[in-house]
Chains A and B, each alone.
Chain A
Amino acid sequence: MSDVVEKTLTALPGLLLSLDSQPGAAKLCATSRLGSLVRSITELTSKNVGEEMAEPPAGPRSPKQMKEIMVRAIYCEMLGYEASFSYIHAIKLAQQGSVLEKRVGYLAVSLFLHESHDLLLLLVNTVLKDLQSTNLIEVCMALTVVSQIFPKDMIPAVLPLVEDKLTHSKEIIRRKAVLALYKFYLIAPNQVQHIHDKFRKALCDKDPGVMTASLHIYLKLIKVCLASNYKDLTDSFVTILKQVVGGKLPVDFNYHSVPAPWLQMQLLRILALLGKEDQRTSEMMYEVLDESLRRAEINHNITYAILYECLKTIYTIHPKSELLEKAAKCIGKFVLSPKINLKYLGLKALTYVVQQDPNLALQHQMTIIECLDHSDPIIKRETLELLYRITNGQNVSVIVEKMLDFLRLSKDEYTTIDLVGKVAELAEKYPFPCSVWFIQTMNAIFSIGGDVMQPDIPNNFLRLLAEGFDSDEEDRQLRLLAVDSYLSLLECDTSGLPQRFLQVISWVLGEFSFLKEGLEPADVVERLGKLLDDDAITTETRCWVLAAMSKLCGSSDALCKAEKVAHKYTSCLDTALRQQAVELELLGRDVDLRTRVLPQHGARNQLEVDSSLSFLDGFVSDALARGAAPYKPPHQRQEELSQEKILNFEPYGLSLPVSLSACSLTDRQSPTALSLSSSLSGNSADPPLKAGSNLLKLEGVKRVWGKQGYLPEKQATEEALAQEPSSIFAPSHQQACSESQQTTFSTIVEQDQEKRQLASSLFVGLGSQNAPCLVRTVAQNLSDSTSEAVPAVGNTEVVEASEVSSLSGGSGPLAQPSSQVERGLESDLPSRLPATLVGLLRSDVEELCSGESLSLSACKVFDADALVLAIFLSNISDSSIQEVSCLISSEQLKVPEMCSTFSVLSFYLNEFVLFSLFVCFSLCLNHLYSEGVAQCQGWEEHLNLGEASLYHSVSPPASCSCRPLPLTTEEYGKMWLSFSHDVKQNLMLLKHEEEDQLEAALTALKEKLCLHIVDVIGAEGIMACQLVSGRPCLLHCHTHGGMLAIWLRSPIADLPDCLLYHCQKAIQER
């Protein structure tokens, strides 16, 4: 070290001298000085040296010297040495320097600082000045830096200037301005909301560069907002793409003789978003997509890039069989390409489409098998992803084995977490071959996934074991297998096993080892005890082990051993562990208590948890009487904090008793604080519950191993077992087993014959399902034909085809048609709602209009995620109507995700068939205000309903788009804190005479606005709702002196305001 310092000291004066000796000398250009710095740094390796050399010597410096020093500082920073002292100088340079120094100053700023750096505020003025400069280069530089980093809060200051630049005469300025706005949109979307029409202007700019830049904004807008707002632009995008593909752009934009590939790519992406699940929009782009596919013929990376994007678009939008065929061929080109990059993308494309069309995977099965053994792990990984998508009950064991093989070799933590999750999912979804396979796969998952995997994997597994399936015998066997395999594991060296796995092992042994006959509990206790000897074991795992022991100490022998172990921990510093140990001792002494608390079949019986913790009421009131502070839920605490800042006008004397009575209620409802101390009485049959973060979650865990999924699979199991020698497992120790599998696999792949076998085992079950290759196309074809009733238009409409056909079978009039309608509107029509809509909240069926033979009625059904408009078209004449065409148009009803297309439907309307159409759409935020009108025209040769206004308004709009959001108080508390937008207002409660004002107000809100009352605590009530689009809003109401204080919070900016308005209305109307 000392010689390095010495070197530094000698080197430093020289280095600095070279700078100082010729101040301002033009001869020595920047590069040579940087050059000498670079050379010196290469010679000296100490970190300090680098820092000191970049340090500007004291005293004033000219901007020119500063510029050179700045370049060196950037260089040092790149080498990893901290040069934060120069940040302020970079800003100064950008501010004071002449143009060329400014350029370096801005560059340094954009490299050094990040968006929320404090120093950035100092730059704002400089940027403002430069934006107004007459020198184009200064303007360019300012715009460049703005589009890279700019403090979010200062956007309003520069926004008008940047907007101005959109009309600048130079295209480079316009382009940069557009990109600056794009950046603003990314960091603060609200700020640029008002200039959307300026974006449109940029889109129509005559310069292709500006237009390309504006596409970035549109792509983002369409992705983030709702595609439906931009559907009208589809035509423009298609036209642009057509022109680009047709080579109408200047040759400057060609790249390897492909016209503007970046532009094409952006457009294709936008089209994919627009055409998704929208037949009409998709139809507009079929032609140009076909053209793009056709044009992309040159064998160059760039054409493949476009092809790939094209494929993605074709498979995303509403399908068209011709295009799909061509696209499938293209995928073949990728997959079969000798170039590894293209092969990778081919696999990726296959993964993308294989769920729609499993045939494709079949076509390329040999290539896939080859890729599975590719030397590049990335290719392997992508192949596994593909296999994961085509897994079914018959090939699951082969695929899972392949995944585990990969996992054993992979070292990347991220891949491990992801893949382990997938294997676990597959194993639980298809517990196919036998229980042995399942247990062994799970063991492999635990030992490979170790402690990095998602915690819900072991939780789900234990849950599966504990809850069991239909047949008791099978449950018993599964558990016994688990016990067996873990006992044998414990005999070997356990030091390498991950903590999570040890926890699972100890839980299973504690819970189920009694199933094994001839196994002494004392043995198990001893083996578990050995685990504790290992120093590497964590306290959490120790808790699990002790918990298992306390379940096992039925016999005196076992008890004796367990107590010996536990005694060590009774004075342990870790409270959880200590508690566990003390409990064990206590339970050992009191046999009655033990059998009550830890019954042998405990895990199987659902625990009744008193979530209100009412048994603690006495404790709480005692504590309160002794003067303890009452518990307050977090949201209340926060509110009080914010209230403390304002003056309190209520007399203290009054508020005291109220708050006391409120708090006893409060405590009852909030199980968080005291649940730990109550574990003995509440849930002690389940000791893992106490183990901190690794709770065995009993709520909200998806149960994948369904009752139906398991048993029918058994037949297939035996068949598949017969055909696949590779998937038969020796039911012995799992390590031996997995090793033997590994060797089997490696031999398999060497020979082509065996490859085929592997292929057949991998792709088994795919061929049978692919008859309806594309369901959506079939539906589309049908809708074109007029001979049948129409099954569907778009994806969201449901038409009851079956009903139509069954009724049309009858001959002659069945009843008096007119009376049927009169009698039946309310009673009969709703019964024709499809089963999915029955039982949902709906409005009354209203007759909208009727003609001689047709009558039109409608009702609104409030589905959980959509507002469904059910339209009933009924025949009220006594003769049959041959043909009815129905046109539904909905230009005014601008609702997102609306059942995509309303094309002309033609169908027979026989007898008095009631024909129902269901139009389904979800409302978004904006449409809390909006009212929509859709028009329905029904016409037929001898009937003219004319234009009937069908759907006047969505009223009250709010209640149409609000849905109750069921939350617990605790969830509410968490959400409340995380939401950023809030609104508060006091509303007058008119009816003072009411006993319980709060109650009444809440009920009114609940009824009018479909809110969910989460909890009522004293004079406060909390409610929650969500929009159909799933966006939540939380309300907090508080009554005092005839006023209702409403406080709304939501992650969406305008939602609280809007909802407040409706609350106000609801309260007033009450």
Chain B
Amino acid sequence: MQFMLLFSRQGKLRLQKWYVPLSDKEKKKITRELVQTVLARKPKMCSFLEWRDLKIVYKRYASLYFCCAIEDQDNELITLEIIHRYVELLDKYFGSVCELDIIFNFEKAYFILDEFLLGGEAQETSKKNVLKAIEQADLLQEVRLGGGLFFLGFNSFH
């Protein structure tokens, strides 16, 4: 996968993750172009797009568009399912996720994404494992906020 973008129906970017090195200018240009193209498409149309030499796979969940860029030889359907799995993860984590969750906790959304996809490849496909890893890291945060005792024994996940 080359990059992943989340944007709203109004074309506002909500999340961006780039797995290929690109300049900021390039990123902005790509984002602008893609948001325009994807938003212009009708609901019944194919979820795949050819764009430059890349394939764009997008899917809309409520008011959010999830949009991934893959290479030509990659499988489009599995990319759709990657998006779906990510939504499932967000849903499970936030408890029926909505756009506002992602706006106000976008760093959490990033953490989940990093646990699920790493360097553009699916890292962990088991939902349970991803959530477990996130919970462990979060737990640490709460312990710290509560009493600041975390360094006493947190060198294990269990």
A interface, CB within 8 angstroms of B: 26, 31, 34-35, 38, 71, 74-75, 78-80, 82, 98-100, 103-104, 107, 110-111, 114-116, 134-137, 140, 144, 147-148, 170, 172, 175-176, 179, 182-183, 186, 209, 212-213, 216, 250, 252-253, 255, 260-263, 265, 301-302, 304-305, 308-309, 340-341, 343-345, 375-376, 378-379, 381, 414-415
> For A137, what are the chain B residues with a Cβ–Cβ distance below 8 Å?
136-137, 140, 154
- State which of A104, A140, A255 has its C-beta within 8 Å of the C-beta of B81: A255
A446, chain B: closest CB distance, angstroms: 24
Decide if A305 touches B21 in the complex (CB within 8 Å): no
Decide if B104 touches A31 in the complex (CB within 8 Å): yes
Decide if A103 touches B111 in the complex (CB within 8 Å): yes
> For B145, what are the chain A residues with a Cβ–Cβ distance below 8 Å?
26
From A255, A344, A375, residue with most partner B Cβ within 10 Å: A255
Measured CA separation A379–B48 after assembly (Å): 9
Measured CA separation A381–B49 after assembly (Å): 10
Decide if A170 touches B118 in the complex (CB within 8 Å): no
B61 at the interface (CB under 8 A from A): no
Decide if B46 touches A378 in the complex (CB within 8 Å): yes
Decide if A378 touches B13 in the complex (CB within 8 Å): no
Decide if A114 touches B21 in the complex (CB within 8 Å): yes
Measured CA separation A200–B77 after assembly (Å): 29
> For A170, what are the chain B residues with a Cβ–Cβ distance below 8 Å?
157
> For B76, what are the chain A residues with a Cβ–Cβ distance below 8 Å?
341, 344-345
- State which of A31, A78, A111, A216 has its C-beta within 8 Å of the C-beta of B13: A78
Q: Which residue of the partner chain A has the closest CB to B45?
A: A376
Decide if A301 touches B80 in the complex (CB within 8 Å): yes
Pick 17 A–B contacts, CB within 8 A, sort by A.
A26-B145, A31-B104, A75-B106, A99-B150, A107-B107, A107-B110, A137-B140, A148-B19, A176-B118, A179-B119, A209-B124, A309-B75, A341-B80, A344-B76, A381-B50, A414-B51, A414-B52
Measured CA separation A263–B157 after assembly (Å): 25
Measured CA separation A144–B24 after assembly (Å): 22
Q: Which residue of the partner chain B has the closest CB to A340?
A: B46
Q: Which 5 A-B pairs have the closest CB atoms?
A: A305-B77, A252-B126, A305-B78, A114-B21, A100-B141
Interface of B is mostly: mixed
Decide if B126 touches A253 in the complex (CB within 8 Å): yes
Known contacts A183-B119, A341-B80; A74 and B48 CB within 8 A of each other = no
A1069, chain B: closest CB distance, angstroms: 47
Decide if B121 touches A182 in the complex (CB within 8 Å): yes
Decide if A78 touches B16 in the complex (CB within 8 Å): yes
B144 at the interface (CB under 8 A from A): yes
B interface, CB within 8 angstroms of A: 13-17, 19, 21-24, 28, 44-53, 75-78, 80-81, 85, 103-107, 110-111, 114, 118-119, 121-129, 133, 136-137, 140-141, 144-145, 150-151, 154-157
Decide if A344 touches B110 in the complex (CB within 8 Å): no
- State which of B13, B122, B133 has its C-beta within 8 Å of the C-beta of A172: B133
A309, chain B: closest CB distance, angstroms: 6
> For A209, what are the chain B residues with a Cβ–Cβ distance below 8 Å?
124-126, 129
- State which of B78, B81, B119, B155 has its C-beta within 8 Å of the C-beta of A134: B155
> For A381, what are the chain B residues with a Cβ–Cβ distance below 8 Å?
50
Decide if A144 touches B104 in the complex (CB within 8 Å): no
Decide if B119 touches A304 in the complex (CB within 8 Å): no
Decide if B129 touches A172 in the complex (CB within 8 Å): yes
> For A252, what are the chain B residues with a Cβ–Cβ distance below 8 Å?
126-129
Q: Which residue of the partner chain B has the closest CB to A253?
A: B126
> For B151, what are the chain A residues with a Cβ–Cβ distance below 8 Å?
135
> For A212, what are the chain B residues with a Cβ–Cβ distance below 8 Å?
122, 125
Decide if A98 touches B144 in the complex (CB within 8 Å): yes
A647, chain B: closest CB distance, angstroms: 41
Decide if A302 touches B78 in the complex (CB within 8 Å): yes
> For A183, what are the chain B residues with a Cβ–Cβ distance below 8 Å?
119
Decide if B104 touches A262 in the complex (CB within 8 Å): no
Decide if A179 touches B118 in the complex (CB within 8 Å): yes
Q: Which residue of the partner chain B has the closest CB to A309?
A: B75
> For A111, what are the chain B residues with a Cβ–Cβ distance below 8 Å?
17, 110
B122, chain A: closest CB distance, angstroms: 5
Measured CA separation A340–B77 after assembly (Å): 12
A316, chain B: closest CB distance, angstroms: 11
> For A308, what are the chain B residues with a Cβ–Cβ distance below 8 Å?
75, 77
Measured CA separation A172–B103 after assembly (Å): 28
Measured CA separation A191–B14 after assembly (Å): 37
> For B16, what are the chain A residues with a Cβ–Cβ distance below 8 Å?
78
> For B48, what are the chain A residues with a Cβ–Cβ distance below 8 Å?
341, 344, 378
Measured CA separation A375–B151 after assembly (Å): 61
B92, chain A: closest CB distance, angstroms: 14
Known contacts A26-B145, A136-B157, A172-B157; A262 and B122 CB within 8 A of each other = yes
Measured CA separation A837–B68 after assembly (Å): 50
Measured CA separation A35–B107 after assembly (Å): 13
> For B15, what are the chain A residues with a Cβ–Cβ distance below 8 Å?
78
> For A75, what are the chain B residues with a Cβ–Cβ distance below 8 Å?
106
B142, chain A: closest CB distance, angstroms: 9
- State which of A114, A140, A340 has its C-beta within 8 Å of the C-beta of B45: A340
> For B49, what are the chain A residues with a Cβ–Cβ distance below 8 Å?
378
Measured CA separation A262–B125 after assembly (Å): 7
Measured CA separation A186–B44 after assembly (Å): 38
Decide if B45 touches A38 in the complex (CB within 8 Å): no
Q: Which residue of the partner chain A has the closest CB to B13?
A: A78
Decide if B81 touches A305 in the complex (CB within 8 Å): yes
Decide if B78 touches A265 in the complex (CB within 8 Å): yes
Decide if B155 touches A263 in the complex (CB within 8 Å): no
Decide if A414 touches B21 in the complex (CB within 8 Å): no
> For B141, what are the chain A residues with a Cβ–Cβ distance below 8 Å?
99-100, 103
Further pairs besides A31-B104, A99-B140, A107-B110: 6, Cβ < 8 Å: A80-B28, A179-B118, A182-B121, A261-B78, A301-B77, A414-B53
Q: Which residue of the partner chain A has the closest CB to B145?
A: A26
From A35, A100, A140, A379, residue with most partner B Cβ within 10 Å: A100
Q: Which residue of the partner chain B has the closest CB to A223?
A: B73
Known contacts A170-B157, A301-B81, A308-B75; A260 and B45 CB within 8 A of each other = no
Known contacts A172-B129, A302-B77; A147 and B13 CB within 8 A of each other = no
Measured CA separation A301–B77 after assembly (Å): 7
> For A107, what are the chain B residues with a Cβ–Cβ distance below 8 Å?
107, 110-111, 114
Decide if B123 touches A175 in the complex (CB within 8 Å): yes
Decide if A38 touches B103 in the complex (CB within 8 Å): yes
- State which of A116, A135, A140 has its C-beta within 8 Å of the C-beta of B21: A116
Measured CA separation A176–B121 after assembly (Å): 12
Decide if B107 touches A378 in the complex (CB within 8 Å): no
- State which of B85, B118, B136, B150 has its C-beta within 8 Å of the C-beta of A148: B118
From B49, B52, B122, B123, residue with most partner A Cβ within 10 Å: B123
> For B119, what are the chain A residues with a Cβ–Cβ distance below 8 Å?
147-148, 179, 182-183, 186
Q: Which residue of the partner chain B has the closest CB to A304?
A: B77
Measured CA separation A107–B155 after assembly (Å): 21
> For B52, what are the chain A residues with a Cβ–Cβ distance below 8 Å?
414
Q: Which residue of the partner chain B has the closest CB to A215?
A: B121
A345, chain B: closest CB distance, angstroms: 7
A388, chain B: closest CB distance, angstroms: 14
> For A261, what are the chain B residues with a Cβ–Cβ distance below 8 Å?
78, 81, 125
Measured CA separation A302–B16 after assembly (Å): 25
Q: Which residue of the partner chain A has the closest CB to B16?
A: A78
Decide if A253 touches B125 in the complex (CB within 8 Å): yes
> For B78, what are the chain A residues with a Cβ–Cβ distance below 8 Å?
261-262, 265, 302, 305, 309
> For A376, what are the chain B residues with a Cβ–Cβ distance below 8 Å?
45-46
Measured CA separation A253–B85 after assembly (Å): 12
> For B47, what are the chain A residues with a Cβ–Cβ distance below 8 Å?
340-341
> For B107, what are the chain A residues with a Cβ–Cβ distance below 8 Å?
71, 74, 104, 107
- State which of B14, B77, B155 has its C-beta within 8 Å of the C-beta of A345: B77
> For B80, what are the chain A residues with a Cβ–Cβ distance below 8 Å?
301, 305, 341
Decide if A179 touches B137 in the complex (CB within 8 Å): no
> For A104, what are the chain B residues with a Cβ–Cβ distance below 8 Å?
107
Measured CA separation A114–B53 after assembly (Å): 22
Measured CA separation A137–B136 after assembly (Å): 8
Decide if A302 touches B81 in the complex (CB within 8 Å): yes
